[in-house]
Structure 1
Amino acid sequence: MDKSIFDITFQNTDTVSKIVVGLERISEAFRALLWEYAKTIGLSPIQIQILIFVAYHKEHLCTVSHLAKEFNLTKPTISDAVKALEKKGMISKHKTLVDSRSYFIVLTGEGKKTVSATEHFANPIRTQVAQFDQEKQESLLSTINTLIYKLNRTSILSVQRTCFGCKFYQKNKEDHYCNLIKTTLSNKDIRLDCPEFEESA
């Protein structure tokens, strides 16, 4: 039977376990910062995340179905959060042309103000990462991109929009290439969330 990564004796002798536990600690920092902002404005963390997501993504991604996949939550959970945001006057629902029963979410003026007040909640983490030299930043970005892609391919993450999973992405020996913009990409050019992303077959 495999040893648990949370077994301290084993963890201290296993590099992979240390990395996984380290990622857990970083996710805790992210959640703690988000909760801190949520408490000050009377919203839940997922409501803040929905508002920020809607602010920066195309309307076809701003539906209850997609948001449930995006945040790995159930449709009823997202639907409840959306209803609460609508009640607070922060979003409005627009029916889709394809199906009159479905709708996409749009920010109101109040919603945009809330995004402006909350969207920088993760800046304390950014500040620390910004202190790494360029080589470390690019190495970390490459590792994160690859990990997200692999977690998606094993169905642990429902959604990913990294270059590695896009139909326009091509690997030429050591180089990355985007067939949409016809450009060679460096490691730092690889995107985590590309607006032109189309999933590869």
Structure 2
Amino acid sequence: MSDSIFNPEDQLGAVSNKIVAGLERISEVFKVLLWEKAKANGLSPLQIQLLIFVAYHKIELCNVSHFAKEFNVTKPTVSDAIRALLKKELIEKDFSSADSRSYLVLLTIKGKEMVSATENFADPIKNQLLKIPSEEREALFNSISNLIYKLNRTGILTVQRTCYGCKFYEPKETTDYCQLLEKDLYTTDIRLDCPEFEEKAR
């Protein structure tokens, strides 16, 4: 067989292969932690992700079409999750949009309580990251943020709201700059999910 990322022999001396294999392991940990929290609260992983997303994002992003893009699932799958959350009285629909066929999703009081109970599912990963020296964490974040941007630019990652893809972002020789905030951007200032994000022209 040709060179494979998942063949231990092909990982020898191939750092890129090792990184991809490592990211796959971490993604498995993320899924396991999410599943455990979902089962403990009688929800599906997607239902938890939808609740958390609604809690922390602009209302105009909280609709079926955007959820499908955000979580890389079909609209029917999102609709099924929304029906389940409505039945559990964790969300409600807002039909105030000009388009009577569409609606926005809002959290109920029970929904906000569920977010508080479930949003810490990834804390075990964060706790291990906090044990890594700050300089190494900064370098790791820099690599991840650049990888996310490049995956989006190639069409593999459909949704991203990172500085690198924003029209307000201005790369410079030493320190990058945000035209909206009118401030220099250091590595730790780069956002992966910016509320003011506006996609720049490709």
TM-score where L is the length of structure 2: 0.97
Q: Does 1:56 align with 2:56?
A: yes
Residue aligning to 2:131: 131
The alignment partner of 2:170 has SS state of strand
The alignment partner of 2:191 has SS state of coil
Question: How far apart, CA to CA, are the structure 2 residues paired with 1:67 and 1:96?
Answer: 18
Residue aligning to 1:21: 21
- Deviates most, 1-10 or 134-143: 1-10
* CA-CA distance at 1:133 after TM superposition: 1.3
Ranges in structure 2 where 5+ consecutive residues have no aligned partner: none
After superposition, the C-alpha distances for 1:93-132 in whole angstroms (9 at most, x for unaligned) are: 1014221110110000110010000001100100011111
* CA-CA distance at 1:19 after TM superposition: 0.2
Aligned identity (percent) is: 59
Q: Does 1:98 align with 2:98?
A: yes
Question: How far apart, CA to CA, are the structure 1 residues paired with 2:44 and 2:199?
Answer: 31
The alignment partner of 1:172 has SS state of coil
The alignment partner of 1:31 has SS state of helix
Question: How far apart, CA to CA, are the structure 1 residues paired with 2:75 and 2:2?
Answer: 35
Residue aligning to 1:82: 82
Letter in structure 2 aligned against 1:67: F
- Deviates most, 96-105 or 165-174: 96-105
Q: Does 1:174 align with 2:181?
A: no
After superposition, the C-alpha distances for 1:153-177 in whole angstroms (9 at most, x for unaligned) are: 1111110000000000001112110
Residue aligning to 2:30: 30
The alignment partner of 2:171 has SS state of strand
The alignment partner of 2:176 has SS state of strand
Residue aligning to 1:198: 198
Residue aligning to 1:45: 45
The alignment partner of 1:173 has SS state of coil
What is the RMSD computed on CA atoms of the aligned residues? 1.0
Letter in structure 2 aligned against 1:93: K
- Deviates most, 95-104 or 62-71: 95-104
Ranges in structure 1 where 5+ consecutive residues have no aligned partner: none
Residue aligning to 1:157: 157
After superposition, the C-alpha distances for 1:1-56 in whole angstroms (9 at most, x for unaligned) are: 84111112112231110000000000111111111111111100000000000000
Contact 1:129 1:137 in 2 (8 A): yes
Question: How far apart, CA to CA, are the structure 1 residues paired with 2:130 and 2:99?
Answer: 45
Contact 1:152 1:160 in 2 (8 A): yes
The alignment partner of 1:196 has SS state of coil
Question: How far apart, CA to CA, are the structure 1 residues paired with 2:62 and 2:183?
Answer: 29
**Divergent runs of 4+, >4 A:** none
Contact 1:96 1:102 in 2 (8 A): no
TM-score where L is the length of structure 1: 0.98
Question: How far apart, CA to CA, are the structure 2 residues paired with 1:56 and 1:176?
Answer: 26
